[in-house]
Amino acid sequence: MSRLDSFIRRMSAQRDCLNWAAEELKGAPGAILELGLGNGRTYDHLRSLFDAEDIYVFDRHVKAHPDCVPDHAHMIIGDFLSTLPKTAEKMTGKAKLAHCDIGSGDKSASLSLSDRIYPHLEPLLQPGALIISDQPFDGEAFEELPVPAGVPANRYYLYRKRI
């Protein structure tokens, strides 16, 4: 498979999972967490699906298109391992969705990051909250869900926080 085809498959899977989550969470209160701003495409899509005032974005730095960058109150800059615990002080149990686009291209490093952020992400999520991730999460607080039809296995992962 070409890199272009792989990218298109990944973006389609991401969009399909986010659209599914928007339907699943329709009317539910709570904030959205976006781990990894990147170019801002996913943040822009999340704004079209949810109230932009409730989307908090985490990344090491901002390199996105200016139209796809949240305001200062919603853009949390720094390493996930330091910014997530600080955010827990004011957002424990308030998020209904976390989208984690944390893969780096180095599978081992990406899996390690997933394992290390899990204990800091879990307290931010309310019971019944969803995680959509490009990396698997392994923790007893979440049950893995099937991905929407058409999303290849192991391309994206869905989890629900146990109640």
For residue range 29-46, what is the model confidence (pLDDT) as tens digits? 999 999 999 889 999 999
Separation of alpha carbons 24 and 39, rounded Å:
26
pLDDT band with cut points at 50, 70 and 90 for residue 52: low
User: What mean pLDDT, rounded, does the chain reach?
Assistant: 90
- For residue 143, is pLDDT > 80? yes
- The pLDDT score that the predictor gives to residue 69 is 94
With pLDDT > 70 as the criterion, what percentage of the chain qualifies?
99
pLDDT at 109: 76
Topology of domain 3-161 in CATH is: Rossmann fold (3.40.50)
- What is the mean pLDDT of the segment spanning 21-27? 95
Rounded Cα distance, 12 and 17, in Å:
9
Extents of the domains making up the chain: 3-161
Q: How confident is the model at residue 108 (pLDDT cuts 50, 70, 90)?
A: confident
Q: Report how far residue 64's alpha carbon sits from residue 125's, in angstroms, rounded to the nearest whole number.
A: 26
| Total H helices, total E strands in the chain | 4, 7
Higher pLDDT, 82 or 89: 82
Tell how strand 157-161 and strand 125-133 pair up.
antiparallel
Residue 106 has pLDDT above 80, yes or no: no
Q: What is the mean pLDDT of residues 105-129?
A: 85
